[in-house]
Chain A
Amino acid sequence: MSTAAIMKPSRRKGPISFLTLLGWSTSILFFLPIAWIIGTALKPKTTVLDIPPKFFFIPTFQNLLDAVNFANTLSYFVHSAIYSFASVFLAIFVAFLASYSFSRFKPAGTDFIMFLLLSTRFVPAAAFVIPFFQLFNILQLKDSFLGLIIFYTMFSIPFSVWILKGFMDGVSTKFDETGMVYGASRAHIMFKVILPQVRAGLVAAFVFNIIFVWNEFLFNFQLGGLKTYGIPVGLFTSITKGGQVDWSFVASIGTLYVMPLALVIYFFQKYLLVGLTFGTVRGEV
Chain B
Amino acid sequence: MSWILLIPVLVFFALMNILPTIWMLGLSFYNYTLTSANGATFTGFSNYLDFVKNQQLSQSVSRTFVFLLIAIICQTFLGILIGVLFWKNDKMPGRRFALTLFFTPMVVTPIATALFWKLILDPTFGVMNYFLTSLGLSKIDFLTDSNLAFPTLIVVDTWMWTPFMALMTLAALGSVPKAELEAASVDKLPIHRQITTVIWPHAKFILMLGILLRSIDAFKTMDLTYIMTNGGPGDRTELIALSLYRFAFKSFKLGYASAVSVFLLFIAIALTAIYLHVLNARKKAEAQG
Contacts and interface: CB of A to CB of B under 8 A. Distances in A.
A51 B223 contact: no
Interface of B: 1-3, 5-6, 8-9, 12-13, 15-17, 19-21, 23-24, 27, 82, 85-86, 88-89, 92-112, 115-120, 124-125, 127, 130, 134, 159, 162-164, 167-168, 170-171, 174-175, 206, 209-210, 213, 216, 219-220, 222-223, 227, 240-242, 244-245, 248-249, 254, 257-258, 260-262, 264-265, 268-269, 271-273, 275-276, 279
B13 A254 contact: no
Given A131-B27, A261-B104, A247 B98 contact: no
Given A124-B241, A251-B119, A31 B101 contact: yes
Contact of A135 (B19, B103, B107): B19
B32 to A, nearest CB: 10
* Central interface residue in B3, B206, B209, B271, by most chain A CB within 10 Å: B206
A133 B98 CA distance: 42
A49 B130 CA distance: 11
A23 B120 contact: no
Given A26-B82, A28-B101, A235 B109 contact: yes
Chain A interface SS verdict (over half): helix
Contacts of A284: 170-171, 174
Contacts of A23: 85-86, 89, 92, 95, 98
19 contacts: A19-B92, A24-B94, A51-B124, A51-B130, A97-B6, A123-B220, A124-B222, A124-B244, A126-B261, A127-B244, A128-B24, A129-B248, A150-B15, A261-B104, A261-B107, A265-B104, A269-B96, A273-B170, A281-B206
Contacts of A134: 23, 254
Nearest to A91: B12
Given A31-B102, A122-B272, A276-B106, A129 B245 contact: yes
Contact of B112 (A157, A235, A276): A235
Contacts of B19: 131, 135
A107 B2 CA distance: 7
Interface in A99-148: 100-102, 104-107, 113, 115-120, 122-135
B213 to A, nearest CB: 6
Interface string A202-216: 000000000100111
Interface residues of A, number: 96
A276 B171 CA distance: 12
Interface in A14-49: 16-17, 19-20, 22-24, 26-28, 30-31, 33-34, 36-37, 40, 49
